[in-house]
A and B are shown apart, each in its own frame.
Chain A
Amino acid sequence: MSKENPHTAPTLASFELLVREQQAGLRAYLRALGVDEAWVDDLAQEAFLVAYRRWAEFEAGADFGCWLRGIARHLAANERRKQARRSRLLPQSVADLLGQRDPADATAEVARLLPVMQECVGQLPARSRELLQRRYAGGENARTLAQALRLNADTVRQTLLRIRVAVKECIERKSAEARP
């Protein structure tokens, strides 16, 4: 798909295939650049719209994913330059720091990470899995979860972090084991 003639506008169906192929990695890339959780999809959609409109600028044979990440990086940099009261990024000092690092390596293996992550989450105690489910599928943050569960928000936040750290360590362990 990425080797289409740059002077031929892609059909909507063929571009949708590219969107489907690249969306997960691009969203993870934008998040690693310091884009706020609530705005990742919005900026990723914008990056795909720019890519669709500027298809003629894409060089035949080049890496589409790399070109797309360049557009996304440019959009994130624009956000950093904005002095708007409400930005689509994490707090400025952290976003500035993350924006200086190209997270291409961190997002290169998105497709491989999910099954490993599912395995690691599957090994968690049922209550921990339930908490993760409510946090990510239900869209509830630590504060709203604490209200619903009649717990202290700090307790919920710390529990969530312990779960996240355990899952991350599990993934790193499994990745190390898988290396030849």
Chain B
Amino acid sequence: MNAARYQELLGRLLEQELTESEAAELARGLTAQPGLQTDLQRHLVLWEIWSQHASPERSAEAFVAAWATRLRAENEGADPFWQAVQARLADRRRWFWPGWRATLWATSAVAAGLAVALWLVVPRAAQAMVTVQGEAVCTVCILHESGAHLPAVRVRAEGKPAVYYLQPTPELHALQDRFCNGPAPITVDGTTQTQAGRTTLHPHHFELRPPPPPPPASERVLFPL
């Protein structure tokens, strides 16, 4: 494999566009020239570091918060009280409903089918849980975009603003006024999906805090000269 072809395949790999046959060709080239393996690993490391630095949803804070959310979710699943309640509910169902076992199997099969279908349909980048910290804003009132008033999170990446459009939920809809009257600090745990340059954040949990108080009157500049 010559240098030009290696560069072409490396470019495709870094853009997640490498096909299986191209991957096999690249692997053969890497085996024949171990120096290229070092080069490839170096590129993977460098651009991973840059991605963590440039993308707010991959920052150290976001990673630690998402890890803590996963730990909390695991611990809640293992909560003895929760398990005891589940066991008691199962006992009740068994008492009142003799066909519970067949129904449970059927429900499980349908749920498993749906899960597999979702797994195949949902884009890969949408799987990982992220935590986004930023300002709660309305797409019309604050961002001055056209269309419906929708909730969004504005963050700063590398000094430039980036916007995560929140997938509307009834809970967010009830708080739309606070997004219009923003910006207010918000933290959202959820999954993201990017299509045509627009990133949508599907919230699993969010915390909307009140906006910071205005500065004291003495610090306000009423008539800047």
**Does A94 lie within 8 Å of B13, measured CB to CB?**
yes
1/0 contact trace for B11-54 toward A, CB 8 Å? Answer: 11111111110111011001100000110111111111111111
B196 sits at the interface (CB 8 A): yes
Cross-interface CB contact of A161 among B10, B44, B56, B64, cutoff 8 Å: B10
Q: Pick the contact of B194: A23, A91, A144 (CB < 8 A).
A: A144
Chain A nearest CB from B127 CB (Å) reads 7
The answer, among A41, A45, A86, A114, for a CB contact under 8 Å with B49, is A114
Interface size class on chain B is: 35 or more
A118 to chain B, nearest CB (A): 8
Known: A41-B63, A137-B158, A141-B15. A97 touches B58 (CB 8 A): no
- Listed in ascending order, the chain B residues whose CB lies under 8 Å from chain A are 7, 10-20, 22-24, 26-27, 30-31, 37-38, 40-56, 58, 60, 63-64, 66-68, 70-71, 74, 119-120, 124-125, 127-130, 157-158, 160, 162, 192, 194-197, 199
Q: A41-B130, A168-B42 are contacts. A136–B50 as well, Cβ < 8 Å? A: yes
User: Which of B37, B63, B157, B196 interacts with A137 by CB under 8 Å?
Assistant: B157
- For residue A6, which residues in chain B have a CB less than 8 angstroms away from its CB? none
Residues of A close to B68: CB separation below 8 A: 12, 16
Q: Is A167 an interface residue (CB 8 A)?
A: yes
Minimum C-beta distance from A22 to chain B (A): 10
Q: Is the CB of A133 within 8 A of B54?
A: yes
From B47, B51, B66, B197, contact of A164 by CB (8 A): B47
B64 and A93 form a contact (CB under 8 A): no
Pick from A20, A114, A138, A158: contact of B64, CB below 8 A.
Answer: A20
Given contacts A19-B67, A144-B194, A144-B197, contact A90 B46 (CB under 8 A): no
Interface of B, helix, strand, loop or mixed by DSSP: helix
Check if A93 sits within 8 Å of B26, measured CB to CB. Answer: yes
**Contact of A137 with B41 at beta-carbon distance under 8 Å, contacts A24-B52, A41-B128 already known:** no
Report Cα–Cα, A143/B125, bound state, in Å.
15
Nearest-Cβ distance from residue B13 to partner chain A, whole angstroms: 7
Q: Which A-B residue pairs are the 8 nearest by beta carbons?
A: A91-B23, A93-B27, A161-B11, A136-B54, A31-B48, A137-B157, A137-B54, A142-B15
The tally of residues in A whose CB lies under 8 Å from a CB in B reads: 67
**Is the beta-carbon distance between A97 and B37 smaller than 8 angstroms?**
yes
Tell me if A92 counts as interface (CB < 8 A to partner B). yes
Q: Contacts A23-B60, A137-B56 known; A161 to B7 CB distance under 8 Å?
A: yes
| A62-70, A73-81, A105-113 - the one binding chain B | A105-113
Inter-subunit contact B37/A98 (CB<8 Å): yes
Whether a CB of chain B sits under 8 angstroms from the CB of A39 is yes
Closest to A17 in B: B64
Which of B15, B45, B70 interacts with A32 by CB under 8 Å? B45
Smallest beta-carbon distance B67→chain A, Å: 5
Q: Give the complex CA separation of A113 and B54 in angstroms.
A: 14
- Given A106-B45, A117-B46, A137-B162, 20 additional A-B pairs, CB 8 A: A16-B67, A32-B41, A38-B127, A39-B128, A40-B48, A45-B66, A52-B71, A91-B22, A91-B23, A92-B23, A94-B26, A97-B31, A106-B38, A113-B49, A117-B49, A132-B50, A137-B160, A139-B192, A161-B7, A168-B43
